[in-house]
Amino acid sequence: MRFERKKQLEQERIFQEFVTGLSAGLRAGYSLPNGFEEAMLEMVHLHGEKSLLIKELKRVNRGMKEGRKCEEMLTEAGHRLGCQTMLDLSEVLGIVNLIGGDRTKILEQTNRLLQSKNNLRQEIEDSISGRIFEAKIMEMIPFFIVLYIEMGNPGFYEVLYKGIYGRAIMILCMTIYIVAKLWMHCIVNKATEGCYV
């Protein structure tokens, strides 16, 4: 799951670079098909041809040469890859083609918005990674405390395991610890899923 998410985030990052290149190409006077091809070739140069995203961009480029609409191809590719940035761009291009307007300026504004969105997502993921690390440390602290006390005072815990009351209390404490640990993992997983929406 985490590996899949890392691959997806890498694709989002590469596509963001592509959108920046496409925006620069349109600003330099290229038409959309020519700007798309130039930006795609730049991505091939930077990231190689093995990336799934690069293969999808090539497919979109071929489709555009065959007369298909760019936004339709991007929507299909975005669904195949699960790339939200690609879906966002296809939606913007569809609206621009429908109502008209300065495509270059709109694409530049979209690029800035997508960059802000991706930066925010990265900050959230960094924050969650820090919380996950803290949670793992908190999991281990009770064991280190028990070990420290046992090493400093050998036999300190014996009384807890001899009588029925001691055993009952220790079972209760262990149950609470396990429930708290499961609850913590549930919270971390929910936070992680929420971050990826």
pLDDT digits (tens, 9 = 90+) for 113-123: 888 887 887 78
State residue 162's pLDDT score: 76
**Residue 89 neighbours by CB distance under 10 Å:** 25
**Where residue 175 falls among pLDDT bands split at 50, 70, 90?**
very high
* Residue 114 burial (C-beta neighbours within 10 Å; 0-12, 13-18, 19+): buried
SS3 sequence, 88-111? Answer: HHHHHHHHHHHHCCCHHHHHHHHH
More confident residue, 79 or 166: 79
State residue 140's pLDDT score: 85
More confident residue, 21 or 131: 21
Task: Determine the Cα–Cα distance for residues 43 and 54; give it in Å rounded to an integer.
Answer: 7
Task: Establish how many alpha carbons lie within 13 A of residue 176's alpha carbon, considering only the half-sphere containing its beta carbon.
Answer: 7
Task: Determine the Cα–Cα distance for residues 25 and 107; give it in Å rounded to an integer.
Answer: 11
Which of 56-60, 101-105, 167-171, 190-194 is the least confident region? 190-194
More confident residue, 11 or 63: 63
Read off the pLDDT of each residue in 43-71 and give the average, rounded to a whole number.
Answer: 85
